[in-house]
Copies of this chain bind each other. A is one copy, B any other.
Amino acid sequence: MSSSNISNEALNIFRKGLAQFITFDENEWTEFISYLNYKTVEKKDHFSVKDKVCDDIGFIINGSVRYYHIKDGTEITGYFSFENEFVSSYKSYLTQQPCTGYIQALDKTALIIISSKNMDLMLKNPLLAYKMERFGRLVAEYYICCYEDRITSFITKTPEERYLIMLQTEPEIMQRVPQHYIANFLGITPVSLSRIRKRTLVFA
């Protein structure tokens, strides 16, 4: 894991990615980027670890990560993040409580980082406060929608249905991550997913 200055290329990618939520004028942008850091995480290294507070929210410039828990000595992968997405152990970041799981890079991953300290400073900086509150609101609302869908699928769908839906709605994830992580994500074992695949005979 290394930190350094941020390239203009990375900043431009970030600015485009943020446009989904908020845009800055030049004054604001200049101020905003003074609060950012840059970090790279080598493949298999960890972005955050269990029992430590996750102090950072990251925006992935390139690479990918998974979030996993350990249960009975076995890793269980709960979600993934890819380029142009945020990654954090949100509950830990937001509440400053220790993480219950790990975030690990699946590839060498480059991120722009907003530390919780810098986020707090921006929320107190008159030039940025309003926009950062709004930014935080819109990002949180975006994730609420994602999470709501996911919970609904656990409640109303069978594992097989969740798999078939995922094939259609998230073909990218299906191709980029190992199948046993997908199984965890769907809430089943890798063996069970292999059987579902054989049963449904839908190979994308």
A residues within 8 Å of B by Cβ?
Answer: 69, 71, 76, 78-79, 90-91, 94-95, 100-101, 129-130, 133-134, 136-137, 140-141, 143-145, 147-152, 154-156, 184-185, 187
A171 to chain B, nearest CB (A): 21
For A90, A149, A156, the residue with the greatest tally of chain B CB atoms inside 10 Å of its CB is A156
Distance of A165 Cα from B73 Cα, bound (Å): 20
A155 near B184 with CB under 8 A, answer yes
Distance of A130 Cα from B134 Cα, bound (Å): 8
Number of copies: 2
Query: Which residues on B sit within 8 Å (CB–CB) of A129?
Result: 130
Distance of A141 Cα from B15 Cα, bound (Å): 23
Distance of A55 Cα from B118 Cα, bound (Å): 35
- Contacting residue for A140 out of B141, B149, B150, B184, CB 8 A: B141
Query: Which residues on B sit within 8 Å (CB–CB) of A136?
Result: 137, 141
Distance of A136 Cα from B184 Cα, bound (Å): 32
Query: Which residues on B sit within 8 Å (CB–CB) of A79?
Result: 151
A37 to chain B, nearest CB (A): 22
